[in-house]
Amino acid sequence: MNFFKHIIIAIAIINLTSNNIQAQVREKSWRSIIYNQDTTWFATQEAKAIAENVLLYQRNIGGWPKNIQMQKPLTAQEKLQLEKLKASTEDVTTDNGATTQEMLFLSKMYKATSNEAYKNAFLLGLNYILEAQYDSGGWPQFYPLKKGYYTHITYNDDSMVNILNLLKDLKDNTGKYAVNPSNETIKKIEIAFSKGIDCILKTQYKQNGVLTVWCAQHDEVTLEPAKARAYELPSLSGSESAGIVLLLMDLEKPSEAIKTAINSAVAWFEKVKLTGIKQVWELDEQTKKRNKVIVKDENANPLWARFMELENNTPFFCDRDGVKKYALNEIGYERRNGYGWYTENPSKVLERYPKWKAKYDVAVKEKKSPKDEYNMVVAKDGSGDFTTIQEAIYAAKSFPYQRVIINIKNGVYNEKVHVYSWNTYVSLIGESKENTIITFDDYFDKINLGRNSTFHTSTVLVEGDDFIAKNLTIKNTAGAVGQAVALSVNANRCYFENCTFLGNQDTVYTAGEGFKQYFKNCYIEGTTDFIFGEATVLFESCIIHNKSNSYITAASTPKGQQFGYVFKNCKLTADENVDEAYLGRPWRLYAKTVFINCEMGKHIKPEGWHNWSKKEAENSTFYAEYNCIGEGYKPEKRVKWSHQLKKREANKYTEEHILQSNSNNSKIKWYQNL
């Protein structure tokens, strides 16, 4: 009997010890359990029990709600309720670490147990993240989209940084995650990651033309800083911006745009850091509650405010009434003590920056010269002579005796490109029109340089004569926010073939009195006056696409110039909801625009042309058509002051007549053999 008595006591001790260990783990926070460094623990029954909770909390769409302590034991009734919620998409989010942290936990479980259920749940979460991404590259706070500020692109609490770090670890196969997605999924991850980094670069805020950092939220359409809760006003963020920069610093072979983003953010962190103060908790004698206060301390570590004014970096604070205050003690007790108004996170950036700079930020002048200065290669992955287009242009000879060809590999080049007047005979040759993309997002109000701000907004500005572009896309991504130029050409004898030009208002500006330009087999889209300017331009076999009811052209042809805009064999198309578009209106009184052998969609208004409320323009402009087809071609209904050409009149609109120019070599016709 004594023997059995000892056995029973031993079993009781084991059970008691086991229960105590379980209680200790269960009492820990969910986050501490996820980051448990004891890998053997994830194979225990206790870990499996918690994993079952995680699987229950996951919705069918793939994501999880936030702020759930997944390790807490569930009653049978609670489990039943969670089963009923499986099909719900309400409150599924990546905010506060939700979804990404559950995926990390499941990955550790899969590594320890090889249970396919954990792997499948992980992949479902991954699919949720990929599906939730905006075309702009950002992620909303909740997906499916939840009304209100939740639709904004959110850097708040490192939500988007957490997502991108997860995608980076998966695409780079760092070993952090035990689940290996398929090759097809890896390709999707690479695209999503690239788009996310581009979004970060596009949303970095410019203060008086100088790059700074980021807001906690950015509008999903305009990408401008946006408001969230009443006390979270548009501002520059000292906290979230640190996480973004640390992510950028982890990228191998950073592009010049990424280097610029990092350098600019670090300069801003240095500029706005707060020294000589620290945040402490004091006991309020009256309320007997802890109270957050700021005190002077010359030896304190630097601090950064959570929110700073967009215009001048002044720290501010806010209560639930949304009214800005400029001292922490000016807001109420609840918000003062229940929110993180200061951060030390940028210190991590400043600590890492010298090592990063020594490794990556080599000055342009120290870079090796291209192998062939007349045939250069630009590649984002570092495999070419340069990683940005502008670097190659800087390296191009001025007024060369032979053509300088810049070959651009596929990639999204988020940069403003300027071909200077001394950069003559430059060719930009893309690897493919679909995947070689030059993009930027300047627009009139963003530039804010007065009445002529439009002319500073271009993504690509060409001022060098005899320029050629082929097989690429030039895009202004500012959105429908007013004047925003994609391509500005202020040069003579310029040729564009198999290119796409994307924008809204003022997409393509063709400048230069007497200059000749030629667009062949191109696609041009926009909303209002999206082809405008004074140059003589031949558009041949192009697709001209209206995105809204407005005007296609706004020519400003100088008085006495023989030709303005000539569209030959072009196709005029439109979005489905567009049904009232004009062929053109006169930016200046002597505008000339002619359509020959073109196919016009039904979106073209019967009257065809508009005088821009300039009655005198009806006598001075020359708007004409010849031998066009399509539902939008209604010559009998055109305004009386426009023209329908006769055959003999149309015969003068030849390539040679339109594009003849005083070239340096009169024996060679610049527009041939290009």
**Catalytically active residues, by annotation:** 506, 529
Tokens 């807490």, residue? 72
CA distance 406 to 464: 14
CA distance 517 to 524: 15
User: For 442, how many CA atoms within 13 A lie in the half-sphere containing its CB?
Assistant: 24
176 CB-contact burial (10 Å; exposed 0-12 / middle 13-18 / buried 19+): middle
CA distance 420 to 462: 7
520, 541 contact by CB (below 8 A):
yes
CA distance 619 to 632: 24
Give the residue among 324, 289, 284, 291 at the shortest CA–CA distance from 306: 324
In sequence order, the 6+-apart residues with CB closer than 8 A to the CB of 45 are none
Q: What 8-state DSSP symbol labels residue 303?
A: B
- Please state, as a whole number, how many other Cβ atoms lie within 10 Å of the Cβ of residue 15: 10
584, 593 contact by CB (below 8 A):
yes
Beta bridge pairs of residue 505:
483
384, 409 contact by CB (below 8 A):
yes
Buried b (16+ CB within 10 A) or exposed e, 591-601: bbbbbbbbbbb
Beta bridge pairs of residue 284:
289
Tokens matching residue 392: 């190659």
Beta bridge pairs of residue 192:
none
Going through 128-259 in order, the beta strands assigned E by DSSP cover 153-154, 206-207, 210-211, 217-218
Beta bridge pairs of residue 526:
546
In sequence order, the 6+-apart residues with CB closer than 8 A to the CB of 28 are 71
In sequence order, the 6+-apart residues with CB closer than 8 A to the CB of 672 are none
* ∠ Cα 390 392 398 (to 5°): 100
> Residue 50 corresponds to which amino acid?
I
